Structure 1
């Protein structure tokens, strides 16, 4: 049974988030000032998207809400042993999503205070001590590679599920439909618009503060 489980606001968020994180990871490796400007812009975009996702996880679509993101080691084991019926959120997927999202929050937060002590610094760098900025910069550089590793894991899982289990996870995030017995969802563009406005306001404050 194909059921619509991913609302349009969540799907748009997902692909914007992927684009933003990918852009940050690539541009962050360059010392070029022009590339670093794009790095900072995409970083601010990620912060706005994080704010949106937190809001959408509270009052968004049914399966976008955080109360559906529950996982245990037993559930992960049973999933791989094929003991569970098809679910909207697979236990391994939930675990990976929570870890990756948390790492991106840490990375983006550190980037607000990071500096190369030459040309580039986060918008809130001037509000903290050199020691704090140094720690934030250290974290920002190290977490970059951890996130990259988890993204490789995520993409590898997409490939395995598509080829081995015949479950195209990325396609469901395009169409919104998944082969699962669940209640269908509907879009709530009013809530999505309000959440987006809050996200834009947060980013605007950060830009003004910088």
Structure 2
């Protein structure tokens, strides 16, 4: 399976900066926790489900901010792809790059579906025990429609996460270093390293935290 790694490159370049790596693992934990507490069906876990959904919202806000003014390879400009690029990747025709075409597509789909899931969760209600923090701001009909979507879209997240994990298992079986990249932050590609923006990371984190805190209980 092609990975976008340059086998002729003797040096590794920092592609994933530390804010993006921390975000990645925090987001993975929160998404898995949210899915678990939502799918188990235990009423006592629903409060934790709402809390983790709110935290997921904060992480999404951080990622959006980091895609605008964060590290070089975390920005939207480096997440462009097309069906032709995806096909060429599997044919081995794409040059080595910081991100692979299928990886870009998968990440884009996953973030879009999680955003949909979190957004609908803000207004969702079971009309008995639990409701999202913004439920009172919308009509009951709107809330029911949001709940309908929220109770079904999570299966798309499960499918996309499973695909992501399966791809990295295959990489690992082929002894490809790609799965380690989100730990080390480096990749064997001949591109400039991403600069570090500690103050931007702090400002983006603060903005995301303020938004989460501003949500009603």
Deviation string 1:99-144 (CA, Å, 9 cap, x unpaired) is 0000000000000000111111100011111110101001001101
Number of matched residues?
207
Q: CA deviation at 1:32?
A: 2.4
Q: Does structure 1 retain, via aligned residues, the 8 Å contact 2:121–2:147?
A: yes
Report SS of the residue matched to 1:26: helix
Question: 1:5-84 alignment to 2 at 5 Å?
Answer: 5-84=15-94
User: Is 1:154 aligned with 2:126?
Assistant: no
Q: Which residue number corresponds to residue 172 of structure 1?
A: 181
* In structure 1, C-alpha distance between the alignment counterparts of 2:40 and 2:126, rounded to whole Å: 12
Q: Does structure 1 retain, via aligned residues, the 8 Å contact 2:34–2:49?
A: yes
Q: CA deviation at 1:183?
A: 0.7
Q: Does structure 1 retain, via aligned residues, the 8 Å contact 2:125–2:132?
A: yes
Which structure 1 segments of 5+ residues have no match? none
Q: Which residue number corresponds to residue 142 of structure 2?
A: 132
Q: CA deviation at 1:153?
A: 0.8
TM-score relative to the length of structure 1: 0.95
Q: Does structure 1 retain, via aligned residues, the 8 Å contact 2:34–2:52?
A: yes
Q: Which residue number corresponds to residue 181 of structure 1?
A: 190
TM-score relative to the length of structure 2: 0.92
Q: Which residue number corresponds to residue 195 of structure 1?
A: 204
* In structure 2, C-alpha distance between the alignment counterparts of 1:104 and 1:125, rounded to whole Å: 19
Q: Does structure 1 retain, via aligned residues, the 8 Å contact 2:171–2:179?
A: no
Deviation string 1:164-193 (CA, Å, 9 cap, x unpaired) is 3x3333310111011211111232110000
Which structure 2 segments of 5+ residues have no match? 1-10
With 78-87 and 28-37 compared, the bigger mean Cα shift is at 28-37
Report SS of the residue matched to 2:39: coil
Report SS of the residue matched to 2:133: coil
Q: CA deviation at 1:39?
A: 0.8
